[in-house]
A and B are shown apart, each in its own frame.
Chain A
Amino acid sequence: MTRPSTLTVGLAVPIAFTVLGVAATAVLASRAPAEIALHWGADGRPDGFGAPALLVVLVAVLGVGLSALFGALLVATVRDPWSPSIWHKILAAASSGATALVATIGVWTLASQLEPGADPSIAVGMGSSFAAGAVVGVVSWFLQPRAVRATGSATSSAAPLELRPDERAVWVGVARAATPTVAVLTLALLIVLGLCAGIVAFSGPAAWPFLLVPLLIAILMAAFARFTVRIDESGVVVRGGLGLPSWTIRAVDVASTAATRVEALSDFGGWGVRFGTGRRTGVVTRSGEALEIRRRSGRALVVTIDDAETAAALLVAYAARAGADPS
């Protein structure tokens, strides 16, 4: 029996649980009392009540939202769904588990309160829902094909750019996130801002620290969505949108440089500043062409950037010049 692909698992399982969850909660909601407990306080006692139909909406919105978010990420980034990276498998399993968790919470909340006056234990409800989510997540993991290892480091250095003895050159490039990525991030920021503003509006001014969350996300986005790379006689400087983080590698410290290709999820487990296999630090704003600079210490810096071939050729030329004349 052939296994279903990561894409099949990552899309079909969440959608199936969402459809099942909505159908089951809709049937149960029609048989439940007009008002049921929907929220429990920290002491384990119910403190929020409402119409059972709210649970149908909750399962539908969260289920569709989670399936769409994880599904879009999978569709957009997976190269070959029959030989996925470990990160794509985790993504598909997490999406399955999370939607199963949401559906189970909805069904349990309704099923446990069908009798008027029922006082279900929230600990039991949450415990069994998380257990159900975990089981579905693990099963979804093992349904998928075996994970393949990341592509790994570049093996050889680029050919040096030919520079005449007195000639000086500088290469400048910008690593920026792809437009869809920026759009998704901006949308996510607006949703978080809306949620946090909602929390403050409902809970009162004392909850203001929640507004620091969107602020922090905005700062991180500004710092990590755009990096400039400059290569000149002194070496290479990579700098984030806010000036930090930044890396400087002197030409004399460069052992090898090459243009390579990066798959953000497979090679580095995502975007931003990441650690990958082979002692590589990744500055990853997108998948695709990248510059890999290996230091003499053995550690490497990988930056996703266009025209990496030219950048690599220039840095190799300057590293050779610096090695021949260490001053």
Chain B
Amino acid sequence: MLTRIDPSSPQPLFEQLAASVRGELARGALRPGDRLPAARELAASLDINLHTVLKAYQLLRDEGLLEMRRGRGAIVTAEGRIDPELVRGVRELVASARRLGVAPATLVALVREESQS
């Protein structure tokens, strides 16, 4: 599993970390049942705060992609399988939004509205 963060980016670190894990799920490098590295170990390796890693894990748990088990760490759930087809679809959507000059915030709002209807 590859995770990457860029402290010079305006996006919060925990969101970058969560996005990184989602990317690994989409790439198939992380599969349901796989265990993520211990938050403490990941925090030390990335030289960031332990709570930043925990916050990222919690975000992914709230999305249903991870399951937190006491003593066993974070495990990828069955819902954690992100189909590459979906990733391609999102990429195309973002590309067309960019082409049409739609702001990212507007695009996110449109997607949220669509998925809640």
Contacts and interface: CB of A to CB of B under 8 A. Distances in A.
Interface of A: 161, 163-174, 230, 232-233, 306-307, 310, 314
B7 interface: yes
Given A230-B37, A307-B29, A310-B29, A171 B2 contact: yes
B71 to A, nearest CB: 17
Given A166-B6, A168-B47, A307-B29, A230 B1 contact: no
A271 B59 CA distance: 40
B45 A170 contact: yes
Contacts of A170: 2-4, 37, 42, 45-46
Contacts, number: 54
B49 to A, nearest CB: 13
A172 B7 contact: no
B2 A169 contact: yes
A171 B41 CA distance: 11
Nearest to A172: B37
B8 interface: yes
A171 B23 CA distance: 13
Point out which of B8, B35, B37 has the most chain A C-beta atoms below 10 A from its C-beta: B37
A43 B80 CA distance: 67
A168 B29 CA distance: 19
B8 A171 contact: no
15 contacts: A167-B4, A167-B6, A168-B4, A168-B6, A168-B46, A169-B5, A170-B37, A170-B42, A170-B45, A170-B46, A172-B42, A230-B37, A233-B45, A233-B47, A310-B29
Interface string B30-60: 0000010100011001110000000000000
Given A230-B41, A307-B29, A314 B2 contact: yes
A182 B14 CA distance: 37
Contact of B4 (A165, A169, A307): A169
Contacts of A233: 45, 47
A232 B45 CA distance: 6
Given A172-B1, A232-B46, 13 more contacts: A164-B6, A166-B8, A167-B4, A168-B4, A168-B5, A169-B2, A169-B46, A170-B2, A172-B3, A172-B41, A230-B37, A232-B45, A233-B47
A224 B46 CA distance: 27
Contacts of B8: 164-166
Contacts of A174: 35
A166 B45 contact: no
A230 B29 contact: no
Contacts of B6: 164, 166-168
B50 to A, nearest CB: 14
Interface string B1-24: 111111110000000000000000
A310 B47 CA distance: 21
A219 B37 CA distance: 24
Given A166-B7, A168-B47, A310 B2 contact: yes
Nearest to A171: B2
Point out which of A170, A230, A233, A306 has the most chain B C-beta atoms below 10 A from its C-beta: A170
B36 to A, nearest CB: 8
Contacts of B1: 171-173, 307
A167 B3 CA distance: 11
Contacts of A167: 4-6
A89 B4 CA distance: 46
Contacts of A161: 2
Point out which of B4, B8, B41 has the most chain A C-beta atoms below 10 A from its C-beta: B4
A161 B4 CA distance: 11
A171 B3 CA distance: 6
A147 B32 CA distance: 41
Closest 10 CB pairs of A and B: A169-B4, A232-B45, A170-B45, A166-B8, A167-B6, A172-B37, A171-B2, A307-B29, A172-B1, A310-B2
